[in-house]
Structure 1
Amino acid sequence: MAPYESDDTLADEADDVRAGRRKAARYVVPVAVVGLAAATIGLVPALADSGDPNLPKVTAQQLIEKIAKSDVQQLSGTVKISTDLGLPSLGGLESSFASGAAKGGGSSADPSSKLMELASGTHTLRVAADGPDKGKVSLLDSAAEYSVIHNGDEVWAYDSKSNEAYHATAPKSGSQKESPKAKQEVPSTPKEFADEALKSVDATTSVTVDGTAQVAGRDAYKLLIKPKQSGTTVGAISIAVDAKTGLPLKFTLTPASGGAAVVDAGFTRVDFSKPAASTFDFTPPKGAKVTQGDDLKADKKAQPKSDEGLTKGLDGLKTLGKGWNSIAEFDTGGQGVPSGSSSGNGDVSGFLNSLGDHVTGKFGSGTVFSTRLVNALITDNGKVYAGAVTKDALVKAANAAQ
């Protein structure tokens, strides 16, 4: 089947702002793999696809339209999250971060404290949803369970290991207050990953229907998205689309370097019937420490901002290059990685440089930090170049920006 090219679709969205956001999508999609854990809902298959069901032929465009029209409101299932970015082992620092957050006035039940835990390895989850205002995700451990429950205007999170709970007020669905925030959130389900991937489709991309499969006992079509450009670290994105509902059941992103997928997102078991109302009920257990999210926000506002330079730099973010070779450039407004011991930074410099590669060019010098998907060059004067591109592409972009 010939690739479906979305040039016509892009022509319909020709205003400058939207075009700029599409160009940046090549950077956003792989970075969202890391941000997957921040949303606390990552869905990854544990079971291999079984069989290739005989389904009616569809074109890639028809399959994309089927995804766009999908409107599944109710479901429950068992899922797994597995992420392999090739990051170095943190030697238990994940638990230290969560413990440190709690000692610093935060809560181990705060969803953001689970970022490091879900950023690597394989984890089992249970998920449930009943419309936009009711959802539950439970991360299962051998001896503990962590859950995030959204029920109406309330959000609860509970960590059974520490017996701590986190409570916050959720904005109403569809409210103007919620919309801008929702647009900025990273993908958190196979459908959201698929939506972001499809936003980045243009003439630099091949999109085809790659046969059929069974995922979680459901017949599905496989949509294959592949960059046409060289120099990107993205090999391919495969999306298994439920033949009946159009819901993406599985999202797999493989690197150009080959090997295991960087991330898989999909169901191992799924049921589209209405979950029991009690699924979304939660009352903190007796003796649990409860932290109010509004209190944490007030504390953070009262504290001096140590990341003002970085925030200012992100405000001036630029996108260099086209398509899958897009690179995000911004200035932190400060120094880059410590590069010498004369200032007493020898130990820090040695540790950071052991995690990256020192490079030089017209831009000066800096360090490239690499994962299997996203690479970032931090120059000694504080500029950052990052994207799903090779180290050579980052150095070339930094030289051209001078």
Structure 2
Amino acid sequence: MAPNDSAETNGGTRGTAVGRRKAARYIVPVAVAGVAAATIGLVPALASTGDPDLPKITAQQLIEKIAASDTQQLSGTVKISTDLGIPSLGGLAGSFAQNSGDSGKGDSTADPQSKMTELASGTHTLRVAADGPDKQRVSILENAAEYSLIHNGGQVWAYDSKTNQAYHSTEDRSGTGKPGHATPAPEGVPATPKALAEQVLKAAGPTTSVTVDGTAQVAGRDAYRLLIKPRQSGSTIDSVTVAVDAKNGVPLKFTLLPSSGGKAVVDAGFTKVDFAKPAASSFTFTPPKGAEVTEADDAKAQQKTDGAKGLGMFPGAEGLGAEGLGAGGQGSKDTKVIGEGWNAIAEIRTPGGTGLPSKASGDVPAQAQQFLDSLGDKVSGTFGSGTVFKTRLVNALMTDDGKVYVGAVTPDALVKAANSAS
């Protein structure tokens, strides 16, 4: 009989159990903008061989088990599938490049700032390895090619075998954030179930229901299923399920379902996992002969990230803070947060107070304008008028007077927030 616990979190959970977490980070700590939650998402649910019969556990105990996990060594294979419902860009990338006069020549295809954002859509297979907080490796397996990020001590290497290009940076451990240096990000790129689960658990509080919803087997490991649901209406998120290793508390699988129904927006899970110490060779890298190596300090264009965890496709989405999926932060001086919990909406004032460029003004190529129109719906209210851009997870309203309202909420909630702020 699978355990079924109805205990729910309270406001103290986030400040105690999650605050004590000390599990190792399992992904290369390079500051890379993600897409939600990002970021993010992993393949369809793994077939179960039958629910294991495990001792009963409360939701509070299971959260504490995750927080107390001290597993620092692992290797395995992760499947990632993300379906945000965003129309394909098709040939627009080339069109933008032509119109801007930038062919992209000279940019390294190994640069992690752009490469890792590929995890925001489609299905991907990753090989991951970790040996404590200073040694991690993530490899994206492609057709007859592989892209790898290797973090070893103060060195970070990225290599794209398809183009034989490498990218090298050194960690800035002084906290100065010097340009071109890879300062480890606390959440990093959310490429594993653990990283995804930690982001969601940060938002667990009075607006969240957390229960134990039975058991499962993932990658041959017995696991409890932690079910996380918003108590509020109006969120685009229906639920998040995290399969937690019954023995060591490591999240093995992460599934985010949208309130609109249909397939998962994010489904992340190990297909193979081993908690033995990985080989030291997993974290060493020497550029192959003939490889083009780009040093971060010498990169032509300074990489810019908005710091949003899982919301990188929207300008200024950093207003939602590290809590990403809805805990709500203070944001920058040009950003404020409306509401709380899963219904938090970031209000961002764009530079210059202008709305979207238009074809009529000559600022946007016709093909690009067609793409923007396909994404957005015109709306109006007491705030004036604007355009709502929709995905299955995050929606954004850009008003004609240059404000942006963004959150994991319905378009109606965005319009209501804009009206109340006008």
The CA distance in 1 between the partners of 2:131 and 2:229, in whole Å, is 34
C-alpha deviations, 1:186-224, integer Å up to 9, x for none? 644222221221111122211100000000000000000
Find the counterpart in structure 1 of residue 302 from structure 2: 300
Structure 1 contact 46–268 (Cα < 8 Å) conserved: no
Find the counterpart in structure 1 of residue 392 from structure 2: 372
Structure 1 contact 76–129 (Cα < 8 Å) conserved: yes
SS of 1:385's equivalent in the other structure is: strand
Find the counterpart in structure 1 of residue 58 from structure 2: 59
| Identity percentage of aligned residues | 64
Find the counterpart in structure 2 of residue 118 from structure 1: 119
Structure 2 contact 14–203 (Cα < 8 Å) conserved: no
The CA distance in 2 between the partners of 1:236 and 1:259, in whole Å, is 12
The CA distance in 1 between the partners of 2:59 and 2:66, in whole Å, is 11
User: Could you tell me which of 332, 335, 338 is aligned with 1:320?
Assistant: 338
The AA in structure 1 aligned to 2:139 is: S
Structure 1 contact 45–268 (Cα < 8 Å) conserved: no
CA separation of 1:186 and 1:326: change in aligned 2, threshold 3 A: farther
Q: Which moved more, 1:250-259 or 1:176-185?
A: 176-185
Find the counterpart in structure 1 of residue 161 from structure 2: 160
C-alpha deviations, 1:31-70, integer Å up to 9, x for none? 632444xxxxx76566323310000000000000000001
C-alpha deviations, 1:164-193, integer Å up to 9, x for none? 011111245xx7568996347564422222
Find the counterpart in structure 1 of residue 241 from structure 2: 238
Find the counterpart in structure 1 of residue 69 from structure 2: 70
Find the counterpart in structure 1 of residue 86 from structure 2: 87
Find the counterpart in structure 2 of residue 212 from structure 1: 215
User: Could you tell me which of 282, 287, 292 is aligned with 2:285?
Assistant: 282
The CA distance in 1 between the partners of 2:333 and 2:293, in whole Å, is 35
The AA in structure 1 aligned to 2:89 is: L
The AA in structure 1 aligned to 2:340 is: K
The CA distance in 1 between the partners of 2:269 and 2:102, in whole Å, is 31
User: Could you tell me which of 205, 208, 218 is aligned with 1:202?
Assistant: 205
The CA distance in 2 between the partners of 1:45 and 1:260, in whole Å, is 9
Structure 2 contact 7–60 (Cα < 8 Å) conserved: no
Q: CA deviation at 1:340?
A: 6.3
Find the counterpart in structure 1 of residue 401 from structure 2: 381
Find the counterpart in structure 2 of residue 16 from structure 1: none
- The answer for unaligned runs of 5 or more in structure 1 is 14-29, 37-41, 302-308
Structure 2 contact 347–405 (Cα < 8 Å) conserved: yes
The reply on whether 1:341 has 2:360 as its aligned counterpart is yes
CA separation of 1:373 and 1:328: change in aligned 2, threshold 3 A: same
The CA distance in 1 between the partners of 2:361 and 2:111, in whole Å, is 40
Find the counterpart in structure 2 of residue 135 from structure 1: 136
The CA distance in 1 between the partners of 2:78 and 2:110, in whole Å, is 21
Matches within 5 A, 1:3-22: 3-9=7-13
The reply on whether 1:330 has 2:360 as its aligned counterpart is no
Q: Which moved more, 1:390-399 or 1:126-135?
A: 126-135
SS of 1:117's equivalent in the other structure is: helix
CA separation of 1:33 and 1:241: change in aligned 2, threshold 3 A: same
Cα-Cα RMSD: 3.1
Find the counterpart in structure 2 of residue 19 from structure 1: none
Q: CA deviation at 1:343?
A: 5.5
Find the counterpart in structure 2 of residue 33 from structure 1: 37
Matches within 5 A, 1:386-401: 386-401=406-421
The CA distance in 2 between the partners of 1:185 and 1:251, in whole Å, is 17
Find the counterpart in structure 2 of residue 189 from structure 1: 192
SS of 2:36's equivalent in the other structure is: helix
Find the counterpart in structure 2 of residue 48 from structure 1: 47
- The answer for unaligned runs of 5 or more in structure 2 is 18-33, 304-314, 320-330
C-alpha deviations, 1:247-285, integer Å up to 9, x for none? 111111100011110001221100000111111121111
The CA distance in 2 between the partners of 1:333 and 1:132, in whole Å, is 38
Structure 1 contact 45–79 (Cα < 8 Å) conserved: no
Structure 1 contact 239–248 (Cα < 8 Å) conserved: yes
The CA distance in 1 between the partners of 2:356 and 2:118, in whole Å, is 25
Give the TM-score normalised by the residue count of structure 2. Answer: 0.80
The AA in structure 1 aligned to 2:401 is: N
The AA in structure 2 aligned to 1:338 is: P
Structure 1 contact 206–225 (Cα < 8 Å) conserved: yes
Structure (1 or 2) with the greater helix fraction: 1
The AA in structure 2 aligned to 1:337 is: L
The CA distance in 1 between the partners of 2:346 and 2:408, in whole Å, is 10
CA separation of 1:344 and 1:35: change in aligned 2, threshold 3 A: closer
Q: CA deviation at 1:124?
A: 1.1
The CA distance in 2 between the partners of 1:381 and 1:180, in whole Å, is 36
Q: Which moved more, 1:214-223 or 1:182-191?
A: 182-191
Find the counterpart in structure 1 of residue 268 from structure 2: 265
Q: CA deviation at 1:8?
A: 3.6
Count of residues paired in the alignment: 371
The CA distance in 2 between the partners of 1:316 and 1:184, in whole Å, is 24
SS of 2:71's equivalent in the other structure is: coil
